[in-house]
Amino acid sequence: MSWLIGVMLVMSALSGWLVVLSRDPKRQVYAICANGLVLATLFFVLQAPDVAFSEIAVGTVIVPLLFLITLAAVAMNKARQ
Amino acid sequence: MTSRWRLILLLPAFLVLAAAAAEVILGLPAFGDPLTRYGTAVNTLAPALRNVSNVVASVMYDIRGIDSLGEESMLVCAVTAAVMLLRGRRGEDSSEEAGRIPGRAQGERMDAMVLMCRLFATALFLFGAYVVLHGTITPGGGFQGGTIAASSFALLYLGGGYAVWRCLLHSPVLVALEGFGALAFVLCAAVPLAFGYTALQNVLPLGTWKDLYSGGLMVIVNAAIGVAVIGSFGALLLEFMEETRAPKGRVDEEDT
Amino acid sequence: MNVLAWCVAAWLMGVGIYGVVTSRNYVHLIGCLSVCQSATYVLLLGIGFRWGAGPPIYYDHPPGTPAVDPVVQAFVLTDIVVSAAMTALLLAIALQVHKRRGTLDPQHLRPLRPTE
């Protein structure tokens, strides 16, 4: 199964690069979600189910949600000024 | 400093770092080589010493429990600082009016979506509690189950809207949960110390293999961390959501 | 395959630092910081891996079957959850900066400028 680990490592490198390449914060949120999912699959393939649990719950749900709320608050603040 | 100067300064730093990284990469053992001796020792001894089948949980809550105590206090500090920053400008009360951005469409909530969100939020919270309780047997534990249960709060907001959400989640309750969880962890470390053992020593009976109660003091530490993480992330979500409300005494647009 | 994991970790860290330095928006910068953190996770879990070994959970197999390193998994696990709280703190700081100065661009925000 070594090809699977190699594929997941390359995909995580690509998804991390994609997070940096998305300059608009509204688009970066989706890149962060994808990055979290790819990383969780990588951790699962590296025989670490606890870490994959953590990464799915945090990297796919909580961190993008916080980003979205912050962006909404920033837009609201800008509209108010 | 302009962005061009930043890039010009970054380039030599990257060259030095790349040289150091190449040296380290060539010096590290190959990927997949046999484990370090500490890891092999833990894998061999932990199931017999602590009667748990989740060796990672035994490392986190018992063998390296002091590290988890440090991480827990980092979590509490970060959440306290974020809540303080956000409340310091806004005050402690909550607002009834939703903040609106002019020109944005506001859709109606569909009944099917509300029902599904309520069902799945309950199921998700129960699943998070299950993961917390079975932390010493199957993959899981306090940290993981706590975040899963906290993400059910987000589903509640998506399904019911802000008013329903505020009726269910009260800020003092969440903050008290977080503090209680952290305090329970500290007591688990301090009470054995007060009775003459070492801190965080497993003084309770170890339980049976593959049972819900296995691992002694680990069960209490697990539950304390789960409760603390639920309270932390719930309080964080609550404070962030409050930022998107209209300030009190002012209505931005007509509320439907 | 021997050095792929270490190279990916170094690449992710480099890309993250480049994103932090050339960012034009503080919220984008915080996302790049999370990429730097994921580099450390990949490195740690790569160090703990072993060919032909299973997870260190002995629910289905008897204790004694080959398993990967559990100590690094404990590190990475707590790190992921705490980094979420620190991301929230950084986002709160960015929000306050926007409220005071009206912009989120690092190039336009010079330190020690008196606030209006």
Write the pLDDT tens digit of every residue in A24-81.
999 999 999 999 999 999 999 999 999 999 999 999 999 999 999 999 999 888 887 7
CA distance linking residue B228 with residue C74, whole number of Å? 18
pLDDT class for C5, splitting at 50, 70, 90? very high
> How many beta-carbon contacts under 8 Å exist across A and B?
57
Average pLDDT of the residues in B195-200: 86
CA distance linking residue B245 with residue B249, whole number of Å? 12
Residue B214 in this model has a pLDDT that exceeds 80: yes
CA distance linking residue B86 with residue B91, whole number of Å? 8
CA distance linking residue B95 with residue B98, whole number of Å? 8
What is the least distance, in Å, from the CA of B195 to any CA of chain C?
A: 28
Nearest residue, CB atoms, B56 vs list C21, C70, C79: C70
Phi, psi for C54 (deg, rounded to 5)? -105, -175
**pLDDT in the model for residue B34:** 81
Quick check: B86 and C5 CB within 8 A? Answer: no
CA distance linking residue C53 with residue B34, whole number of Å? 10
**pLDDT in the model for residue A69:** 92
Look up the ipTM and state it: 0.91
- The full length of chain B comes to 256
B151 touches A: beta carbon within 8 Å? yes
Q: Are A62 and B150 in contact (CB under 8 A)?
A: yes
Quick check: C38 and A43 CB within 8 A? Answer: no
**pLDDT in the model for residue A79:** 81
What is the least distance, in Å, from the CA of A60 to any CA of chain B?
A: 10
- Is the dihedral angle over the CA atoms B155, B156, B159, B165 positive or is it negative? negative
CA distance linking residue B29 with residue A69, whole number of Å? 43
**pLDDT in the model for residue B256:** 38
What is the least distance, in Å, from the CA of B137 to any CA of chain C?
A: 7
User: Which residues on chain A are in Cβ contact (under 8 Å) with B162?
Assistant: none
Residue B98 burial by CB count (10 A; 0-12/13-18/19+): exposed, middle or buried? Answer: middle
Q: Are B83 and C89 in contact (CB under 8 A)?
A: no
pLDDT class for B1, splitting at 50, 70, 90? low
What is the least distance, in Å, from the CA of A13 to any CA of chain B?
A: 16
Residue B255 in this model has a pLDDT that exceeds 50: no
- For residue C54, the cross-strand partners are C67
Mean pLDDT over the full length of chain B: 86
Cβ atoms < 10 Å from Cβ of B133:
18
Q: Which amino acid is at B121?
A: A
Quick check: C50 and B2 CB within 8 A? Answer: no
Chains contacting B (3+ CB pairs below 8 angstroms): A, C
Quick check: A53 and B151 CB within 8 A? Answer: no
- pTM for the model: 0.91
Nearest CA in chain A to C29: A20
Q: Which parts of B54-204 are beta strand (E)? A: none
